[in-house]
Amino acid sequence: MTPTLTAADGHTLASYLAEPAGEAIGSLVIIQEIFGVNHHIRSVCDAYAKIGFRALAPALFDRIKPGIELGYSGADVKTGRDVRGQVPLEGAMADVAAAVAHLRPGRVGVVGYCWGGTLAWLAAARLGVDVAIGYYGGQIAAFGAEAPKCPTMLHFGEKDTAIPMADVNLIRAKHPMLPVHVYPAGHGFNCNERDQYEPGSAKLAWNRTDAFLRQVFQA
């Protein structure tokens, strides 16, 4: 399904929704990387639906141009960074909030990857979500003064050249009770369409995320 969402500022954006076969355990907003709601992000939504979650991915790049879907080549990385740089933070957060509102009533979590990992952190601090998971969010340390107001888990790769371990350690120091997991992998290790994909780390992170989500939603 592809619901149209409306943010508080009136902006409309596309999304991708995957529904579970039976009654949902809970609802999740899946927050994109810098490559749009592409094949990989849709497959992530589908994977969560298969294990019992409603999963909705808002198209955050629609604020710049509708329908942007990129791959993982060097040229696409550059394009993704350029487009992301044009999306105002307030606009991205408004779009995530619209996705959360679409999934209400009921408890809603967020799971974000790359750029989306940072937005998941901010959603945990600002949007009143019920649980948050961030994968390799590059700006989380910069927003480390903002504290999550819900159960939150973070995943990082120790070989990530974009996120130094000093940033991960800073997050741990500021939020010592937060589960922060580090894997023998690089940036983007969860994405099986990227050269950095590390299946062992991806599986372990998936299992930890699944257990964490169920602990919150089934409490």
Question: Per the residue annotation, which of 95, 130, 160, 167 is the catalytic one?
Answer: 160
Residue 62 φ then ψ, to 5°: -60, -20
**pLDDT (tens digit per residue) in 103-121:** 999 999 999 999 999 999 9
Question: Per the residue annotation, which of 62, 114, 167, 191 is the catalytic one?
Answer: 114
Q: Within 10 A of 121 (CB to CB), how many other CB atoms are there?
A: 28
Q: Could you tell me the pLDDT band of residue 1, with boundaries at 50, 70 and 90?
A: confident
Active site residue 114: yes
Question: Per the residue annotation, which of 40, 102, 155, 187 is the catalytic one?
Answer: 187
Active site residue 187: yes
The hierarchical CATH code for the domain 5-217 is: 3.40.50.1820
Decide if pLDDT at 78 tops 90: yes
**What is the pTM (predicted TM-score) of this model?**
0.98
**pLDDT (tens digit per residue) in 2-61:** 999 999 999 999 999 999 999 999 999 999 999 999 999 999 999 999 999 999 999 999
Residue with tokens 């508080």: 8
CA-based nearest residue to 168, from 177, 40, 117, 157: 157
**pLDDT (tens digit per residue) in 191-218:** 999 999 999 999 999 999 999 999 999 9
Question: What's the pLDDT score for residue 112?
Answer: 98
Q: Show Cβ contacts of residue 190 under 8 Å, excluding neighbours closer than 6 positions.
A: 113, 135, 136, 155, 197, 201, 202, 205, 206
Residue 47 φ then ψ, to 5°: -65, -40
In terms of Cβ atoms closer than 10 Å to its own Cβ (0-12, 13-18, 19+), residue 76 is middle
Q: Within 10 A of 24 (CB to CB), how many other CB atoms are there?
A: 18
Decide if pLDDT at 219 tops 90: no
**pLDDT (tens digit per residue) in 144-194:** 999 999 999 999 999 999 999 999 999 999 999 999 999 999 999 999 999
Angle at which helices 115-126 and 89-103 pack, to 10 degrees?
Answer: 70
Active site residue 150: no
**Three-class secondary structure assignment of the chain:** CCCCEECCCCCEECEEEECCCCCCCEEEEEECCCCECCHHHHHHHHHHHHCCEEEEEECHHHHCCCCCECCCCHHHHHHHHHHHHHCCHHHHHHHHHHHHHHHCCCCEEEEEECHHHHHHHHHHHHCCCCEEEEECCCCCCCCCCCCCCCCEEEEEECCCCCCCHHHHHHHHHHCCCCCEEEECCCCCCCCCCCCCCCHHHHHHHHHHHHHHHHHHHCC
CA quadruple 28, 139, 36, 39: dihedral sign: negative
